[in-house]
Each structure stands twice: as structure tokens, then as C-alpha cells.
Amino acid sequence: MNIIQRNLRRLPEFYRRYGWKGVTFVFRQKWTKKPLIRFNYPKAFRYPVYVRKGTSDFPVFESVLVQHCYDIDYGCSPEIIFDCGANIGLTTVFYANRFPEAKIIAVEPEAANFELLKKNTSSYPNVRLYQAGLWNKTTSLKIEDRGYGAWGFMVSETPEGSPGAIKALSIPELMQQQPCEKIDILKIDIEGSEKELFESNYDAWLPKVKTLVIELHDRMREGAALSFFKALTKYNFRLAVKGENIICFLK
């Protein structure tokens, strides 16, 4: 299926969600000469969002802001939300509009993604950003591009001071910096690093999470799903699935 056929298949859903603005947005992905494409629809979100032409940003937009993969009955009015693996900030924007009173912590390691994350969230005073990788401890990481596109950068540990090294933050460290004693919504989409995140040191923070929304990436890092479900066996939770996301309501 070529790009024109894919775009034609997208049109009904974009029209249903955003009317003719949505239809125009689909075709601008192909025909615009601008590297950044602006989309403004105040009925859905208070400020414009931007995506990069010819990247994985468009399918992220489709998943988050058209198909609403994070539009879940969370059963509460959250006070604090962690968006880990925030990419260019479209999930952060979704949460900031649905829960305008919540404090949102967005974490993204890759530099170009982070710059657009800043642009997309700059008008939301309740959003705080960290350019870092999420890990099970404080360490240094390196970013690896294994050909999955801008939404698929992976990380691995590297010695401190190595060329291109970035900071890794643990969830307890993020909670301490806020500060907060609990996390109402924890969204995790970290391209396989969930394997390390749930292998150790999770007892310090997992019982403090009310709702966990996670996409697992066994195809990118073998053992990620096993690590996650093994950690969860210690806790009482209710499980649901929406699209590629697993939702855990912890009790």
C-alpha cells in the first residue's frame, strides 16, 4: 500500500475527529514543503501542536490524538502524571488538556524529540520536562538508533563521561524531585527499557502507582514482557488492554 492509499484510508477517522481541518492535515503530510507542520484545533486542545514531515510523528499523532489510545477511564481526577517516553509530547498534550489541574512530568532522552516536546508543551504551565532516559537506577545511557524511526530510539548503559552519554533517572528520583508520594497515572513507552526498569528496584515505587499504562517491546528487547509481568505478580491489580497499551489498575 503506497502513501496515497494509506492517507485515503485515514480520511474518515480524521474527518470524524477534526472535520475538514483533519482532512487537510492528512494531505499536508505529503504535499507541504515545510519541515514542521502545525495543527490547531482549539475544541480538542488549547494550543497548536507540531509534527515533523516525513517522520514517525504522524502515526504518533494518529494514535494519540485521533484514535485516542490514552483515552481511558482512570477512575480519578489525577494530581500527578508521569509521561515516560514522551517523544514529541503528544501524549503530554492529551493529558494536559484532559486533566488541566494535574502536574505532568514528561521524560524523553533523544535530543531532537525533546526539542519538539518543548515546543509542543511550552504553553502548558503544569508540565515539567526532563531530558533523560528512564532506568532502574541513576546512571549514564547512550542512545541507539536501530532503524525504528524517531519513535523507536533505544538506550543502553554506558560509562559516565562517554561521548554522547545522557543522564538516566529512576522513578524514585523523579518522585523525590517533584516531590510526590504517589503517581496517579504512570505512562511508560520506553522502547524496550521496561526490561531493565522492572528487573530490579521497582518495589520502591510500583506500590505507589494507581494506574500504569505501558506498551511492551519484546520485539525490540527480548525479555521485556517477562520482566514486567514477573514484577507485577507481587501486587494485586486489575488488567485491561487498549490497542498496544496494557493498563494496570493497582490496588
Segment 130-157, tens digit of pLDDT = 999 999 998 889 888 765 554 557 788 8
CA angle in degrees (0–180, nearest 5) for 96-101-106? 40
Instruction: Give the Cα separation of 40 and 46 in Å (integer).
Output: 8
Count of all residues that appear for the chain in the document:
251
pLDDT of res. 79 = 98
Low-confidence ranges of the chain (pLDDT < 50): 150
pLDDT of res. 220 = 82
pLDDT of res. 6 = 66
pLDDT of res. 4 = 57
pLDDT of res. 45 = 95
88 neighbors 57 (Cβ within 8 angstroms):
yes
**Domain extents for the chain?**
1-67, 68-250
Dihedral pair phi/psi, residue 179, rounded to 5°: -85, 160
Q: Work out whether strand 245-250 and strand 209-214 pair parallel, antiparallel, or are unpaired.
A: antiparallel
Rg (CA), the chain: 18
pLDDT of res. 113 = 95
Q: What is the CATH number of domain 68-250?
A: 3.40.50.150
Segment 8-50, tens digit of pLDDT = 788 999 999 999 999 999 988 888 889 999 999 999 999 999 9
